[in-house]
Amino acid sequence: MEKLLDVKNLHVSFDTYGGEVKAVRGVNFDVKKGETLAIVGESGSGKSVTTKALMHLIPKPPGRIKEGEILFEGRDLAKMSEKQMQKIRGKEISMIFQDPMTSLNPTMKVGNQIMEGLIKHQKMSKPQARKRVVELLELVGIPDAENRMKQYPHQFSGGMRQRVVVAIALACNPKLLIADEPTTALDVTIQAQILELMKDIQKKTDSATIFITHDLGVVANVADRVAVMYAGKIVEVGTVDDIFYNPQHPYTWGLLGSMPSLDSADEELFAIPGTPPDLLDPPKGDAFAARNKYAMKIDFEQEPPMFKVSDTHYAATWLLHEHAPKIEPPEAVKKRMEGMANSSSSSEGERV
């Protein structure tokens, strides 16, 4: 598949009174046309900063893209001016934010908020834009669209507001959709509906998606590939099967092991010890070493390169070095992998 987005050696920093916070430190990834890439990691790992940098949405100052390339269809977004980005933002790349109430203007009817992008980017007349708004609201599953478009955000439930935000993001048929934890503020039932809606819309529009989340359970249902971030770096990347059934980085083991499971009889959840490092002064070597019980001396001295596991799977851990001891994932992770394999095979049986 052809690459739509290719991010190379991206560095993003924030200049604070305490010094330079190196929030994103040499990130590399790509997104192909029509695929969904999930970026996962704890709060503060750099997920949202990375994607906001793609759209020039980090506050300047204190934020800045320090180094790197953001190639979108061959054009380097990192070198574009704000005026140039305004023609791309909303039209070619759209973003769905975490909280719909901060994304919507409480003083404007939702129909007018969706029409704004259509009139500006698609050069539609008001009657054309109104007709398209009705189609979009129906597409995202809002009934009685002609009447609902005349209402204000406070007249919608949380799930319906998020559907309106999805409609705004889709209004100009973007080639790339960035979803920044779009279901975090919603209850589990509505969360599942929004995720199903996004999958369905992606099939219909053939757009690519970057899905940011800290919830690996969400990833299994929506993504084609997964990039695991820690301390401003991508530490493992692969297909969903690579990450869930053959994880290689101890941090990925920790994320998988800490997932609650309805199938497990264990009362105790596996937890990653310690806290992420201070990116005002990033640690030498592997940033995860201090929290990694499998860390070796080299982890505290040298940063590991990305080792190739397969053509689709790479991980930055010295455990993959040919001279490293062979370490098995913890039992909690093995159980989680077995549970997911069992649920996957039973789902396949039901479909057959």
Q: What pLDDT is stored for residue 221 in this prediction?
A: 81
Measured CA to CA, the distance from residue 101 to residue 161 in angstroms comes to 7
- Mean pLDDT (the chain) is 88
Q: What pLDDT is stored for residue 262 in this prediction?
A: 62
Question: Domain map of the chain by residue range?
Answer: 33-57+83-228, 244-351
Q: What pLDDT is stored for residue 350 in this prediction?
A: 47
Q: What pLDDT is stored for residue 184 in this prediction?
A: 73
Q: What pLDDT is stored for residue 43 in this prediction?
A: 87
Q: What pLDDT is stored for residue 351 in this prediction?
A: 43
Q: What pLDDT is stored for residue 266 in this prediction?
A: 57
Portion of the chain with pLDDT greater than 70, in percent: 93
Measured CA to CA, the distance from residue 301 to residue 6 in angstroms comes to 30
pTM across the whole model: 0.90
Name, in order, each residue with C-beta under 8 angstroms of 8's C-beta and a sequence gap of 6 or more. 28, 68, 69, 71
Quote the Cα angle for 62-68-72, to 5°.
Answer: 105
CA distances from 220 to 134, 145, 187, 341, 349 (A): 32, 32, 18, 12, 18
Helix (H, G, I), strand (E, B) or coil at 257: helix
CB atoms within 10 A of CB 157: 10
Q: Which CATH fold topology does 33-57+83-228 show?
A: Rossmann fold (3.40.50)
Quote the Cα angle for 266-214-8, to 5°.
Answer: 135
In order along the chain (352 residues), what is the average pLDDT of each group of 10 residues? 93 95 96 93 91 92 94 95 91 86 89 91 90 90 92 91 89 90 76 80 84 84 93 96 94 87 62 91 94 94 96 97 90 74 54 43
Q: Do 22 and 31 meet the contact criterion of CB atoms below 8 Å apart?
A: no
Measured CA to CA, the distance from residue 152 to residue 107 in angstroms comes to 7
